[in-house]
Structure 1
């Protein structure tokens, strides 16, 4: 079984996931743009169990459909590393950049295309959604 470790910039906060990703996607919503400081977030889902080391600061945000998400970031360097859905401990969403792996597979989905910057180009064949898919 393949294990992957994602970490913050300073290395204090880490998450180890097991197995293949359930899928990866990008989100262009304004909350993700503000949260990442980039024009979109790129996330990969992994089934539980997962192991976290280090200390995380948490921020809970409620999405457009009323689902609450708990984001974990490093209190030292500020890097967002992962988040979970409140009340659902079956999977975790990990920031793809936190793996620091340029060979990480391309995302399959793109949500909130209605807020995508016009100059952003994504892989051919990606499934596109104007808003959230919930």
Structure 2
């Protein structure tokens, strides 16, 4: 891990910002229908970090809790950008929206999950591990 790297994630309007120290411990892409709807894109990219890597947070958030009790999402209170989420019962991991780190040289995803629900024309990079569902 590169502890000296600092990156800033920003929402669409710039009102919500997170400053992250170090590289993520994992990067994953996902084509599940939840990620497609959450991002408005054809798949999502999640940058997984530890809470202690968040150096600073500024801006107002609104939360959305999935009715199945699995995840709490944090969005910008002004523009609605989905910035980060925390799985319920797990206080040692935060998922950050990869697209919020525009132009900051994030590591490439290490896998693609839920490929069974990806659009058929989405091409996957050669050698990328893929899973039709959640990995075991």
Could you state the TM-score of these two structures normalised by the residue count of structure 1?
A: 0.88
1:58 to 2:60 alignment: no
Q: Which residue pairs with 1:107 in the alignment?
A: 109
More strand by percentage: 1
Shift of 1:40: 0.7
4+ aligned runs moved over 4 Å, structure 1: none
- Following superposition, the deviation at residue 102 of structure 1 comes to 6.2
The 5 A counterparts of 1:1-134 are: 1-49=4-52, 50=54, 51-61=56-66, 68-101=70-103, 103-133=105-135
Q: Secondary structure at the match of 1:35?
A: helix
Q: Structure 2: where are the runs of 5+ without partners? A: none
TM-score by length of 2: 0.87
Name the SS for the 1:128 alignment partner: coil
- Hey, what's the Cα distance between the residues in 1 that align with 2:31 and 2:65? 18
Cα distance in 2, alignment partners of residues 53 and 88 from structure 1: 23
Aligned residue pairs: how many? 131
Note the aligned Cα RMSD (angstroms). 1.7
The 1-side partners of 2:84 and 2:103 are apart by 16
